[in-house]
Amino acid sequence: MSKEYDTVLLAALLHDVGKFYQKGTPGGCVVDNRGKHPEVSCRFVDCFAGLFAPYADMKLLKELVKRHHENERAFDKEFLAQYAPEEIKPLAYLISAADSLSSSERDA
């Protein structure tokens, strides 16, 4: 498998880890949990880069984790998929779709 594919899988899994971190600090790495959850998720990925780097493109992973929302007024452009750099925009939309699907069970 390609590193890009593995990166997209990790981003889909980790995009909301910031929400988890905001509710408490698990051991291993202290992450600043202030700010919007995409920003905290990005800090988490950065903190555990040693675990993810062998499998993922870290720059891409952090960008995808950070940009998993669309058209939401609560987030600045730096957190929105539609403002991602053109070369990763399709992947950002893919992670946004994963976020929508994973949160849809709460609407039921």
User: Which residues partner with 69 through β-bridges?
Assistant: 80
pLDDT digits (tens, 9 = 90+) for 29-71: 777 888 888 888 898 888 888 888 998 999 999 999 999 888 8
Confidence of residue 85 (pLDDT cuts 50, 70, 90): very high
Q: How far is CA 60 from CA 24, 27, 28, 57, in A?
A: 26, 25, 23, 5
Bridge partner residues of 80 (DSSP): 69
CA distances from 27 to 21, 30, 35, 48, 72 (A): 11, 7, 20, 12, 32
Q: How far apart are CA 34 and CA 52, in angstroms?
A: 23
Q: How does pLDDT run across 3-38, given as a tens digit for each residue? A: 999 999 888 888 777 776 666 655 567 778 888 888
* Residue entry with tokens 């600043």: 32
Let me know: does 66 contact 83? Beta carbons within 8 Å.
no
Q: What is the DSSP letter of 69?
A: B
Q: Count of residues for the chain? A: 108
